[in-house]
Amino acid sequence: MCLIVVFVDVDYFFAQVEEILNPSLRGKPVVVCVFSGRTADSGAVATANYEARRLGVKAGIPIVRAKEIAPSAVFLPMRKGVYEEYSKKVMVILRTVSPRVEVASIDEAYIDISSAVPSFEEGIKLAMKLKERIKEETGLNVTVGVSVNKVFAKVAAESVKPNGFRAIGPDQVEGLIRELDIKEVPGVGPVLTSKLESLGIRKLIDIRSTDVSHVSAAIGRAKAYYLLQLANNTYSVPVEERQKKSVARVLTLKTNSRNLDEMRRAVRKALEDAYGKAEGLPTRIGVMAIMEDLDMISRERSLSHGVPMDVATSICMEMIEEILRKDNRRVRRIGVRLSRFVKSKGLDQFLDLK
Ligand SMILES: [Mg+2]
């Protein structure tokens, strides 16, 4: 049996959460902004609801520009913690359906439900129920795509946003490959599109009749094979839990200081938080010291194996002492950054290091 992959994408996520928490916003253009704090309106738009999009506001544009084109819109500051709570609620619901959930971003996830249902038809029913449950339990409208791999599930969802549902079953995949414009394929941006069009490739299906070495030469081997597998319907990259690339935590000292004990306490606390969020042990550890004049100095060290928190504390303090030896300013904030995680299956061997 083929894979059955469900892609769930929350519609205009941040702005929708704001609408749920304050229903009087419904029907009005709502723009959620990341204010940089430098001047009153400096920063960028994070999410706009569809009313604001119709006026021309979109993610990424400067707030100043958004206020010019949509002066009547409601502009709100981003509330990261609130959105994270909603995201978590959605992901918890998804995990009740299948343990194979790949969180692609704060508002998008893939779920492999192949083992949860006996047929693609049953998969469609399950995905529909999932959409209803998310609405009931969180109030959020989501768009859902179902297909035989992650990419086609995403394509299905993209074509029916917002609050949409579309399934592209095994019998319909050949039709999709024939009709899908190359620029609609996830991962194919404007630059790649124009390179492919110069080879005469406009539809995904055109990849089949083009010499793969020509495509490789134009866009690189990895992208060429990605498209070839999609065009031949042999793409089968599994739904997999994504690892966080890095975890960072910064703390402000009570007063600007050069006191090592105080810094050790801050480092310890920052590491406790960072280790709490990490999946596995870091093989790369960084510190940053933000000095009293807000200048930042950082140091990083790579290790041959993953290290537990006590070892990380010593390493961080060595790097901080090194910074202070060469610098006579006081420190205002201390940060730690963990990255390149290894799974902690070999945990026992590291206990000796303690
Ligand atoms: Mg979304």
Point out the domain boundary residue: 141, 170, 199.
170
- Dump pLDDT digits (tens) for 133-157: 999 999 999 999 999 999 999 999 9
Is there a single domain that holds both residue 138 and residue 198?
no
Can you give the pLDDT at residue 343? 72
- The band of 21, judged by pLDDT with boundaries at 50, 70 and 90, is very high
Residue 328 domain flag: yes
Q: Are residues 271 and 335 in the same domain?
A: yes
Do 43 and 115 lie in one domain? The reply is no
- Has residue 350 got a pLDDT over 50? no
pLDDT mean over 48-77: 96
Model pTM score: 0.73
Q: How far is the CA of 123 from the centre of ligand 1 (A)?
A: 22
Q: How many angstroms does the Cα of residue 110 sit away from the middle of ligand 1?
A: 13
Q: Are residues 34 and 59 in the same domain?
A: yes
- Average pLDDT of the chain to the nearest whole number: 93
108 tagged catalytic: yes
Q: Give the pairing of strands 5-10 and 30-35.
A: unpaired
For 313-343, write each residue's pLDDT tens digit. Answer: 999 999 999 999 999 999 999 999 999 888 7
Cα 90 to averaged position of ligand 1 atoms, centre (Å):
12
If you measure from the C-alpha of residue 315 to the centroid of ligand 1, how many angstroms do you get, rounded to a whole number?
A: 40
Task: Look up the CATH number of the domain holding residue 19.
Answer: 3.40.1170.60
- Tell me, yes or no, whether 214 and 255 share the same domain: no
Task: Spell out where 2-155 has E strands.
Answer: 5-10, 30-35, 43-48, 74-77, 101-105, 108-112, 142-147
Q: Would you say residue 207 lies in a domain?
A: yes
Look at residue 151 and tell me if it is in a domain: yes
What spacing in Å lies between the alpha carbon of 161 and ligand 1's midpoint?
A: 9
93 assigned to some structural domain: yes
> Using the 8-state DSSP alphabet, how is residue 311 labeled?
H
**Other residues' Cβ atoms within 10 Å of the Cβ of residue 208:** 14
203 CA distance to ligand 1 centroid (A)? Answer: 25
pLDDT digits (tens, 9 = 90+) for 271-298: 999 998 887 899 999 999 999 998 899 9
d(CA 271, CA 138): 33
Domain final residue pick, 144, 170, 196:
170
Same domain for 190 and 147? no
* Residue-number span of the structural domain to which 205 is assigned: 174-231
Per-residue confidence (pLDDT) for residue 344, from 0 to 100? 54
Share above pLDDT 90 across residues of the chain, in percent, rounded to a whole number? 83
Looking at the structure, tell me whether residues 101 and 55 fall in a common domain. no
Residues 128 and 206 in one domain: no
pLDDT exceeds cutoff 50 at 347: no
199 and 270 in a common domain:
no
DSSP conformation class of 203:
B
Q: Kindly name the residue from 18, 51, 102, 108 that is annotated as catalytic.
A: 108
Rounded Cα distance, 222 and 237, in Å: 13
Q: State the CATH number of the domain containing residue 197.
A: 1.10.150.20
Residues 225 and 291 both lie in one domain:
no
Residue 322: CATH number of its domain? 3.30.1490.100
In a domain, 290, yes or no: yes
Looking at the structure, tell me whether residues 259 and 347 fall in a common domain: yes
* Residue 239 placed within a domain: no
- The CA distance from 17 to 20, in Å, is 5
Give the number of other Cβ atoms within 10 Å of residue 194's Cβ: 10
Domain count, the chain: 4
Q: Is residue 240, in this structure, part of any structural domain at all?
A: no
Tell whether 265 is covered by a domain: yes
Q: Check pLDDT > 70 for residue 109.
A: yes
Domain boundary residue, one of 79, 96, 131: 79
Q: What is the DSSP letter of 89?
A: H
Q: What is the CATH number of the domain that holds 163?
A: 3.30.70.270
Q: How confident is the model over 84-91, as a mean pLDDT?
A: 95
- Give the distance (Å) from ligand 1 centre to CA of residue 170: 25
If asked whether residues 257 and 313 sit together in one domain, one would say: yes
